[in-house]
Amino acid sequence: MTVLDSPSKFATGIPAAAPIGEAALTDGFHLVIDALKLNGITNIYGLPGIPITDLARLAQAEGMRVISFRHEQNAGHAAAIAGYLTQKPGVCLTVSAPGFLNGLTALANATTNCFPMILISGSSEREIVDLQQGDYEEMDQLAIARPLCKAAFRVLHAEDIGVGVARAIRAAVSGRPGGVYLDLPAKLFSQVMDAEAGARSLIKVVDPAPRQIPSLESTGRALDLLKKAKRPLIILGKGAAYAQADAEIRALVEQTGIPYLPMSMAKGLLPDTHPQSAAAARSYVLEQADVVMLIGARLNWLLSHGKGKTWGARGSKQFIQVDISAAEMDSNVAIAAPIVGDIGSAVAVMLSQIGADWRQPPADWTRAIAERKDKNLAKMAATLAKSPTPMNFHSALAAVRDVVKARPDAIVVNEGANTLDYARSIVDMYEPRKRLDVGTWGVMGIGMGFAVAAAVETGKPVIAIEGDSAFGFSGMEVETICRYRLPVCVVVFNNNGVYRGTDVNPTGHSDVAPTVFVKGARYDAMMKAFGGVGVVATNPAELKQAMEDAVTSGKPTLINAIIDETAGTESGRIGNLNPQAAIKK
Ligand code: ADP
Ligand code: TZD
């Protein structure tokens, strides 16, 4: 129960008692905070201003951790990944119109990636917005948010705050997780009501993400298919990592003996060094497999939509898909055995149905994969052993790989093009949910937001491997990292531009080419500017040492890793998606 006080008194930090004989009161500010706390939400990622400045202040005063950012998009990405890591909706708090819009990219990205998040934005007065009379930061935010997220709600009355927050939480985490928008008009915050009635109006959400147990028929159908398969394959996606059914998933893979491929953020669900990992023979297994079981992975562009050259001869595959979203089935190709349910339950049911007589996959299949793997790994080892000057992506990532191997509990954040693609294949992960990256959209700008939230939510060291372009999208948040003294080590792969730094302006004009940055930029000085550690690394030994120092000390660190500006390729590994001019002039 909170006694009503004026915001200005809270600003002084002196709570006032209710006058004797008067009923204790509460208000919109306190009800929002109480509703979040009641539901176990302890952290807010945001950026203060009218009308939510006091909400942020009061939340901190009431014991919540309030992490203020320099731009709402980064706060939004932080909230989204907090949701992914904890299975509780991450909360992002913004001001109206422009602040809301800045947060919206992250909300849409969270929805696309199936991360549970709630964007709470203050908004202007309904009466003025609806008549378009030109209020301060006027915008019909609810209407704008609605098509970009899983659900959107507005609360107009203090007594409905409990319901609004409860609905937002349920919508974010139940079924397929996603982003929810909660619109809180300025007038709501100062609405006053009896404190006891207020407390009674709040809802502690019971079983917010209920288990969805699949039918035995559906799991039986899938297991029958797998049993008959000559070349079975399991693909683990970030839905499997999100589900936190790590032991069951590992048991399923190991008991069936089926080779598996981890999608990017599912790396580490089983250690990448696991003998059944087929990651080093990816093209081979995608082309050759006859039965593929997808667990928490969509057949979207990242898997070439389940068809085309990548997947071998037409009609050569049968798919099993385990997903909480029934509507996901058949979205790209026919799913022969859909299993609709939550991954924890689905995998547990399958484990219970696998008898002692389960036959391991045919040895010629696993042997063929092992041979390809060995060949590819040997080739990669030879490449990684080289140490050119300046560094290229491979030699720098060999150093990163060694540091992560020594600290498997560290969380790796990764964005860029070449920096992303090479890191994904070179840096082995050993534990679940330790690799966070650009996800389904391949969005740049997640870097510092993800890094901040990963550190705040887990307390573990964070290593952010950033292309220099990618880093620029959220680079100002190095101040946030320093301000909260977070154990984040940012490594900027500095090759002077987007993809590479070698383009030239063909006209001879002094403007550089559109993909080129200032050459030799000192990103390390940015971290130093705010009291952190800044280092320049020109070779793998320097890079490794600086990373080890950062991880050991826990001090905010930025390592400016100098990479050959001719290394890498346009668009990394997805150059095929990049249209080229048909007519050369
Ligand atoms: P990736 O990018 O790693 O391939 P996707 O984001 O495409 O993974 O797929 C994740 C899938 O996981 C989504 O279709 C989502 O509905 C599903 N999912 C998320 N959480 C669960 C869960 N707890 N149980 C079952 N499916 C889930
Ligand atoms: N804007 C947003 C929000 N997301 C994007 N994905 C892009 C632009 C386009 N883009 C990519 O897809 S990767 C990339 C951009 C701008 C940056 C690549 O350069 P880098 O990485 O320096 O970060 P590499 O490792 O040098 O290739």
Residue with tokens 């006058």: 19
Evaluate if residue 171 carries a pLDDT over 80.
yes
User: Of 200, 175, 24, nearest to 114 (Cα)?
Assistant: 175
How would residue 8 be classed by pLDDT, with cut points 50, 70 and 90?
very low
- Ligand 2 site, residue 444, Cβ cutoff 6 A: yes
More confident residue, 248 or 20: 248
Residue in this structure with the two tokens 């696993």, named with its chain if needed: 366
Percent of the chain with pLDDT over 70: 96
Structure confidence at residue 576 (pLDDT): 86
What is the C-alpha separation between 69 and 485, in angstroms, rounded? 14
145 lines ligand 1 (CB under 6 A): no
Least confident interval from 186-190, 479-483, 570-574: 570-574
Residue nearest to atom 21 of ligand 1 (CA): 239
**Protein residue with its CA nearest to atom 19 in ligand 1:** 239
CB of 114 shorter than 6 A to ligand 1:
yes
572, pLDDT greater than 70: yes
471: tokens are 């880093």
Mean pLDDT over 351-368 rounds to 95
Q: Which segments of 382-508 are extended strands (E)?
A: 411-415, 435-437, 462-467, 488-494
Inform me whether the pLDDT recorded for 14 exceeds 50.
Answer: no
Chain segment 201-242, per-residue pLDDT in tens: 999 999 999 999 999 999 999 999 999 999 999 999 999 999
| 109, 231 contact by CB (below 8 A) | no
176 lines ligand 1 (CB under 6 A): yes
Q: Is 238 in the pocket of ligand 1 (CB under 6 A)?
A: yes
Rounded average pLDDT over 396-418: 98
Report the C-alpha gap between 483 and 576 in whole angstroms: 42
What per-residue confidence (pLDDT) applies to 19? 56
Among candidate residues 559, 379, 383, 377, the one with its CA nearest the CA of residue 468: 559
Task: Answer yes or no: are the C-beta atoms of 274 and 429 closer than 8 Å.
Answer: no
Closest CA to 33 of 249, 275, 224, 198: 198
Q: Which residue bears the tokens 């937001």?
A: 449
Atom of ligand 1 nearest to the CA of 328: 14
Give percent above pLDDT 90 in the chain.
Answer: 92
pLDDT at 16 over 90: no
Query: How confident is the model at residue 395, as a pLDDT?
Result: 98
DSSP count for the chain of H helices, then E strands: 23, 19
Closest protein CA for atom 6 of ligand 2: 443
Continuous segment of H or E residues that includes residue 344: helix 343-353
Summary mean pLDDT of the chain: 95
Assess contact for 124 and 189: CB atoms under 8 A.
no
- Specify the residue with its C-alpha closest to ligand 1, atom 9: 297
**Residue 68, SS3?**
strand
- Concatenating the DSSP letter of every residue in 194-243 gives EHHHHHHH----SSSS---PPPHHHHHHHHHHHHH-SSEEEEE-HHHHHT
Flag whether pLDDT at 155 surpasses 90: yes
Overall average pLDDT of the 324-328 stretch:
98
Q: Is 468 in the pocket of ligand 2 (CB under 6 A)?
A: yes
Does pLDDT of 2 surpass 60?
Answer: no
The pLDDT of residue 436 is 99
Distance CA 350, CA 339 (A): 10
Residue from 111, 324, 330, 347 to probe ligand 1 pocket by mutation (most atoms less than 8 Å from CB): 324
At 462-476, the pLDDT tens digits run: 999 999 999 999 999
pLDDT at residue number 3: 42
